[in-house]
Structure 1
């Protein structure tokens, strides 16, 4: 049955009765050839139910008689998003539909805005497009920090562009965490690729310091292409923002070697852990202000 192949062996009772008699369906279930995954939703085999089947069970069983769409992190996962595993399957339905008892492990989000243009034309199971999925994933988070991290990850993984994200958030004026989401989209459009970088830029703005250039490409003495986290070209100051991965010994040496190569021609490097930017901003600002207080230097070509 082609329908079963398309739906990873998951089928609703209504769909099954288009192809089988009531008696034939009952025999498949009582014989153990098929199993009931949720009231009115069956799996056409007797083996373990995996992630692919669970997604189809979610979209077919969330609201009886209606097909839901994967949304948020669940939609992003099948679109290639990585780094944010979520055991819950998120589906989205129009607000007029009221779920009574969704399958276990499924969260149903009702929305007053669901345009056909926001649905992915080729995903299986049905899902929202990347921009809408990323916005929903962010607004469904409990904290603004987590929301901003997800938005930046979407840009870093090249799932979305700034123009489409700006248009999407403009069309959804009532989403949760909207101010932070808009600011983060702007940061990403200007080159920010991680939350510590975004926090550093905001710290510079708050302290009325010059805004740095982000992820600026430079070549070292061996011709290798490197990217500077934050660079103040008028002062020859480079800021390296260290996350937890910088503590791994090989990565630590790579960072130290790059710092040494920048120091050799006279550039200065400041290094701040992400923790300090978040929890000791006054100390970060004091050191940065002191480094920038020397006479400006001409921009390097």
Structure 2
């Protein structure tokens, strides 16, 4: 009896990868498989998965390998699912694969197979290509296992700031995922993000103002610099004398020499006779917010109402 599909058609639809079971269904013999592997036409990339191309696996092939090795119902989750939905600058080498609890894939280097009793098969994204979990449950499940609160808050803020999803959508999914670890932390962060915070630094500024009773700033204010370019300032306060105090928060990437030079030029271009621009680091906001608050108060930032 002729097979329904040739191995070439199957592999073509799976980024060049194919399982031993699929090869068997396509009437490819063990001898033929062994010959192609021995002659380096194919490569075995997992105990039951072969790649019909040579060389290092592409990103898509790595993701496809995780799903094929994970078995029926497996979906790409974690940061990789967020990246496929559009998240930038959050790369992780370890690929997260969500699998039904009844599955028990063998360990595979470079992959985390997360078994769950939740109905992950219903969470598949409509996006074409490698089967992938919808961004909201993928992000929340990943964040629920992250030990660093700032990383959890940073991911949620980045997803909203980059318009991958919304704070409301994440909150609705948080309600659906009952008894999720770290749910109170995520719910609190989403409330603040919905209020306009676009980053962990903005969340830290809001907490600092609340803790040290400073008036909350205006955030992400549009300004034209001296060259006429549109800029967005991190935080602004209008002082009693009419002067505007601008606080710019420098993250880790600002330590790069080129970024530092750009920041100096930006500060000069945004400065004006009625505008004071000061800077602090995200580490200061995290580790010593009292000192930042004291300096802001000294510069004239009013107390909270």
**TM-score of the aligned structures, taking structure 1 as reference length:** 0.85
Paired residue for 2:198? 193
Paired residue for 2:100? 94
Paired residue for 1:42, among 47, 50, 56? 50
Give the total of aligned pairs: 289
Confirm whether residue 256 of structure 1 aligns to residue 264 of structure 2: no
Paired residue for 1:239? 247
Confirm whether residue 7 of structure 1 aligns to residue 18 of structure 2: no
Matches within 5 A, 1:1-301: 1-23=8-30, 24-63=32-71, 66-99=72-105, 101-220=106-225, 223-233=228-238, 235=240, 236-247=244-255, 248-261=259-272, 264=273, 266-290=274-298, 291-293=300-302
Q: Contact 1:62 / 1:106 at 8 angstroms: preserved in 2? A: no
Gaps of 5+ in 2: 1-7
Superposition CA RMSD, Å: 2.5
State the shift of 1:155 in Å. Answer: 1.9
State the shift of 1:228 in Å. Answer: 1.9
State the shift of 1:36 in Å. Answer: 1.9
Cα 1:229–1:126 shift into 2, 3 Å = same
Cα 1:28–1:286 shift into 2, 3 Å = same
Q: Secondary structure at the match of 1:103?
A: coil
Q: Distance in 1 between matches of 2:95 and 2:129?
A: 14
Q: Contact 2:157 / 2:200 at 8 angstroms: preserved in 1? A: yes
Q: Secondary structure at the match of 1:217?
A: strand
Q: Distance in 2 between matches of 1:250 and 1:110?
A: 47
Q: Contact 1:231 / 1:237 at 8 angstroms: preserved in 2? A: yes
CA offsets, 1:26-67, max 9 Å, x none? 54445443222212211123443333222211111124xx24
Q: Secondary structure at the match of 1:288?
A: helix
Cα 1:15–1:56 shift into 2, 3 Å = same
Q: Contact 1:239 / 1:272 at 8 angstroms: preserved in 2? A: yes
Cα 1:243–1:208 shift into 2, 3 Å = same
Q: Contact 1:62 / 1:102 at 8 angstroms: preserved in 2? A: no
Q: Distance in 1 between matches of 2:35 and 2:276?
A: 76
Q: Contact 2:215 / 2:302 at 8 angstroms: preserved in 1? A: no
Instruction: Between 39-48 and 26-35, report the one with greater CA deviation.
Output: 26-35
Q: Distance in 2 between matches of 1:181 and 1:238?
A: 29
